[in-house]
Amino acid sequence: MMSNTIFMHPAAYFIIGAMLLPFAKRLKLQKALLLIVPLLAFYQIHHLPASFGICHFMGFELTFGRVDKLTYVFLHVFTLMALIGSIYGLHVKESGQHMAAFLYVAGSLGTTLAGDYLTLFIFWELMAFASVFLVWYRKKKRSIEAGYRYLLVHTTGGLILLAGIFLRYHNLHDLTFTRIAVDGATTADYLIMIGFMLNAAVPPIHAWLPDAYPEATVTGAVYMCAFTTKTAVYVLARGFPGFTALAILGAIMTVYGVAYAVIENDARRILAYHIVSQVGYMVCGVGIGTAMAINGACAHAYAHILYKALLFMGVGSVLEMTGKSKLSDLGGLYKYMPWSLVFTVIGGIAISGFPLTSGFISKSMIIAAAGVDHRIFIMLMLSLAAVGTFLSVGIKLPYFIWFGKDSGVKAKESYWNMQLGMFIAAFMCFFLGFYPEYLYRMLPYPVNWHPYTSYHLSETFQLLGFTGLGFYLMVNYLKPAAKSNLDLDWFYRKGALVFMWLASKPIGKANDWIGEVYRTIGYRFTLAVAKAMSWFDWEGIDWVLDGSAKGVVRGGDELRKLQTGKIQHYIGGAAVALCIILIIVVLI
């Protein structure tokens, strides 16, 4: 345990760093601060006590830090990814974009460490509101619109989560964030789970992800692919392991995301759909709920963050240097951006589960866990998704960007810092593949899984080999076409249009009619009332007040006449008044 004099919550480094960034920019220290903050946080997570930051607020016990092995593996990859993202974005001069990224990371770390639902909710919402600026900072019309939709969806999810938290507290009078038993789950618990599932992009509440991520800034997309969905995987693993619904929905996710990725044209939309697919493996592992499956979900989250970030960095480099991201507009770039090509291919083979890469040692654990738990249909769906992954990201994506038909687009290699960020991620993909024990030691449960068996290697090579043959035979059918594919976001896009129509037409016309009525009747009535009040002020009130004042003055003048100054007059007057009073008393 570290000394309390130098201990700090890991999220606090990023919050303070975000506040200091504008000043650091003026002092030309922005790049140094971008590196120092994630390095300090990465160091800090290795020295966290089991619990810290426990305080009482308005009768609630809040726990800002609860650390165990499940927490640690996510903290480790989140802080590592923050460092890679900062390096990749060193060339970005806008402090605001870096501030949004730091606050986004802070929200993710705070959620991961939260020991109660109230603390979790605060950091959960910080993630949503900080990350939307990574979309808006692209400053294009499509990005502004996608950002508003993203914020609307996540605000709705946050309200569902908050409703579940309120109901749970009403039932139990306890806000502790603990594992929920499958048999004892209530409506409140399912509302909480739905709130978590929305951030995990579980269909049918997933379309915000391929809608927003491709519209984010180049560096913003690198951050976004790493934190929101994986933080959701963590909270699901913490609170809802063993829920069969998650296992089924996770398996559906894997195939659903791959199916859209195969037909997509935009490179970043392909990768966004593959987030849905790959997170499906993790959600499925959480739903299976065995020790092996939870280990697989955590290991795959760790591996996925690195290779998915690598892919987004590679595609982002192309977008940064050419201004294009659609496969139909690209081709032949291997001559101009060779290092970006190498790093993107490494990400592609890692996500496809090639031996000696990180995807091979993590994804297979979840598939094997499904088989051990006798969930054969789920295991087949996960294996089918693996084939689609290699087809769309391992082959199609790099082929049509770097090779294929020469598009005539010429570009320079990306900035040195972008290449350095890609190099670190690529190195980790191979490092974990060669040395899986490094990751396995961090997992929540003891690992009894050996990926490099002859059966597993043979199975993998057969799947990858036949997939490669299939691409060779069907390459003409897989050529990207410049078209858009509809997804379930169609409903809230159309819903927004309907709302705008209602607001501008019926409601707008009703508002205009009410305004006209006010102008013709209400305005005149108001003027008449004002005129009457004015008359009353000048005539009525003044007559009453002025008349009373004049009466008092006249009475005073008459009384003054009685003041003769002679004592006998006063005595006589007093005697007359006394006689009158005695007569009245006798008569009564």
Helix/strand/coil percentages in the chain, nearest 5: 75, 5, 20
Residue 38 forms part of a structural domain: yes
Q: Are 428 and 576 within one domain?
A: no
* Res 477: pLDDT: 72
* Res 511: pLDDT: 73
Distance CA 238, CA 243 (A): 12
Q: Are 361 and 467 within one domain?
A: yes
Last residue of a domain, which of 234, 269, 293? 234
Distance CA 197, CA 254 (A): 15
* Res 4: pLDDT: 45
Dig out the tokens for 268 from the structure: 């970043």
Q: Are 563 and 460 within one domain?
A: no
Residue 490 forms part of a structural domain: no
Residue 488 forms part of a structural domain: no
* Res 8: pLDDT: 87
Number of domains in the chain: 3
Q: Are 64 and 184 within one domain?
A: yes
Residue 495 forms part of a structural domain: no
* Res 466: pLDDT: 84
Residue 149 forms part of a structural domain: yes
Distance CA 231, CA 218 (A): 21
Last residue of a domain, which of 234, 267, 295? 234
Q: Are 466 and 562 within one domain?
A: no
SS3 525: helix
Residue 483 forms part of a structural domain: no
Q: Are 225 and 300 within one domain?
A: no
The pTM for the full model equals 0.84
Q: Are 223 and 257 within one domain?
A: no
* Res 6: pLDDT: 54
* Res 3: pLDDT: 41
Burial 11-48 (b: 16+ CB within 10 A, else e): bbbbbebbebbeebbeeeebbebbeebbebbbebbeeb
Instruction: Encode the chain (588 residues) as per-residue pLDDT tens digits.
Output: 344 445 789 999 999 999 999 999 999 999 999 999 999 999 999 999 999 988 888 878 899 999 999 999 999 999 999 999 999 999 999 999 999 999 999 999 999 999 999 999 999 999 999 999 999 999 999 999 999 999 999 999 999 999 999 999 999 999 999 999 999 899 999 999 999 999 999 999 999 999 999 999 999 999 999 999 999 999 999 999 999 999 999 999 999 999 999 889 999 999 999 999 999 999 999 999 999 999 999 999 999 999 999 999 999 999 999 999 899 889 889 889 999 999 999 999 999 999 999 999 999 899 999 999 889 999 999 999 988 888 888 888 998 998 878 878 888 999 999 999 999 999 999 999 999 999 999 999 998 889 999 888 988 888 888 888 887 777 777 777 777 777 777 777 776 667 667 766 787 677 777 767 766 776 666 667 767 666 655 665 555 555 555 555 565 555 455 555 555 555 556 555 656 655 554 555
Q: Distance of CA 378 to CAs 408, 461, 546, Å?
A: 44, 21, 94
Distance CA 429, CA 303 (A): 7
Domain limits for position 576: 506-587
Q: Distance of CA 553 to CAs 169, 190, 539, 540, 561, Å?
A: 72, 81, 20, 20, 13
Q: Across-strand partners of 176?
A: 116
Q: Report the candidate in 313, 531, 518 with the shortest Cα–Cα distance to residue 422.
A: 313
